[in-house]
Amino acid sequence: MNRIDAKFAALKKKGEAALIPFVTAGDPDMATSLKILHALEEGGADAIELGVPFSDPMADGATIQRASERALKGGATLPRVLEMVRKFRRQSSVPLILFGYYNPIFRYGLRRFVRDAAAVGVDGVLCVDLPPEESGELARHAAKAGLDLIFLLAPTSDGERIRLVARKGRGFIYYVSVTGVTGARQQLEGHLQSQVERIRRYSRLPVGVGFGISRPEHAARIASFADAAVVGSALIAELEKTARNADKPKRAAAFIRRLKRAMRQVAKPSHQRAG
């Protein structure tokens, strides 16, 4: 059982959902970014999605686009991101998922990428623009290296696509709550619970919900029926509120702590949770 599977199993026993924050590696710089990762764990993150900065992040809204731009200007590269993970692993065992786009991975070399990612302590990979139909080569290398390849589903996903992701995915299924790009929203869509229940009819993998979660009450609502809440744009926007890099880790920990506290308030014994 890898770190992702173990974390979801442990949370299920406690009747809790996972809180999975997303941050862009290298934003605002590599040293501060590493401190933010530790702060997220301190604040209560159950797993972390670490974004690999990319020059054309087509799935991301303005907030994460700005984070990628800052990271790239600061010299963030895929090798430097992997080195940061290596340093993080010296003091942490929290599950860590690399979240990014196919081009940097392809340029790095698929076999080399999964080998190096596994060696530094990455647990899973979510490649936003790699559809499951075209994931065979990366999936084979990832399986050999022990990395979970995680896929997205959206409100437009039909039964055939859900079955495909259920068959090919590992770790958990990431359900995108809206049709569109990332970004904090004032309200969550009304269909979320029914969509998560629909996905569960096809798969026993945990289901996480992301895109648009920005407040403690949002995270609590997701935790009441899903297995994980993924929070990205709202966290990065929170970090942007302070200009001093030295203050960003503390602010990150406080934000995550508020979300996790709200999620724990809706925790249920494992025999009462769906899935």
CATH code, domain with 132? 3.20.20.70
pLDDT of residue 139: 97
- Rounded-to-10 torsion of CA 168, 173, 176, 177: 140
Q: Which helix (H) or strand (E) holds 144?
A: helix 136-145
Owning domain of residue 190: 3-272
Please name which of 173, 171, 112, 174 lies closest in space to residue 147, comparing C-alpha atoms: 171
Q: What pLDDT score does 56 carry?
A: 85
Active-site residue 49, yes or no? yes
Residue 158: active-site member: no
Residue 109: how many other CB atoms lie within 10 Å: 12
C-alpha pair distances (Å), 271 with each of 17, 159, 171, 258, 275? 14, 27, 21, 26, 10
Please tell me which residue in 46, 49, 116, 123 is annotated as part of the active site: 49
Nearest to 258 by CA among 17, 83, 19, 1: 19
Residues 6+ away with beta carbon under 8 Å from 222: 17, 188, 192, 209, 213, 228, 229, 263
- Tokens 């940061």 identify what position? 84
pLDDT (0 to 100) of residue 185 = 44
- pTM (predicted TM-score): 0.93
**pLDDT the model gives residue 148:** 98
How far apart are the C-alpha atoms of 234 and 211, rounded to whole Å? 10
pLDDT the model gives residue 270: 54
Per-residue confidence of the chain (275 residues) as pLDDT tens digits? 799 999 999 999 999 999 999 999 999 999 999 999 999 999 999 999 999 999 987 777 789 999 999 999 999 999 999 999 999 999 999 999 999 999 999 999 999 999 999 999 999 999 999 999 999 999 999 999 999 999 999 999 999 999 999 999 999 999 998 654 443 444 455 588 999 999 999 999 999 999 888 899 999 999 999 999 999 999 999 999 999 999 999 999 999 999 999 999 998 765 455 44
How many domains does the chain divide into? Answer: 1
pLDDT for 100: 94
Per annotation, catalytic residue among 27, 41, 60, 148: 60
What is the C-alpha separation between 230 and 222, in angstroms, rounded?
Answer: 9
Burial 64-86 (b: 16+ CB within 10 A, else e): bbbbbebbbebebbbebbbebbe
- Residue 62: predicted pLDDT: 87
| pLDDT on residue 57 | 78
